[in-house]
């Protein structure tokens, strides 16, 4: 009986270790994706700023 419980716990532990490993891989992929998206957002923000500065004339808008 005690041996059965030990075996059952070992099986559960093995299962949990597998799940933790899979979750770690998922988290790592998500972290890399977030870094990539953050960099792309930063690049786009800089392009938008540059575009706004290039196309912004130093004169008053037409309604003045």
Q: Would you list the domain boundaries of the chain?
A: 22-52
Three-state DSSP string of the chain: CHHHHHHHHHHHHHHHHHHHHHHHHHHHHHHHHHHHHHHHHHHHHHHHHHHHHHHCCCCCCCCC
More confident of the two residues 7 and 62: 7
User: How much is the pTM?
Assistant: 0.65
pLDDT > 80? residue 8 = yes
pLDDT tens-digit map of 22-61: 999 999 999 999 999 999 999 999 998 888 776 666 656 6
Task: Report d(CA 6, CA 12) in Å as an integer.
Answer: 10
């Amino acid at each position: 009986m005690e041996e059965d419980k030990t075996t059952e716990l070992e099986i559960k532990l093995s299962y949990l270790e597998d799940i933790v490993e899979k979750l770690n891989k998922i988290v790592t992929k998500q972290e890399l994706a977030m870094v990539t998206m953050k960099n792309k957002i930063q690049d786009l923000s800089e392009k938008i700023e540059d575009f706004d500065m290039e196309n912004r004339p130093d004169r008053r808008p037409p309604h003045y």
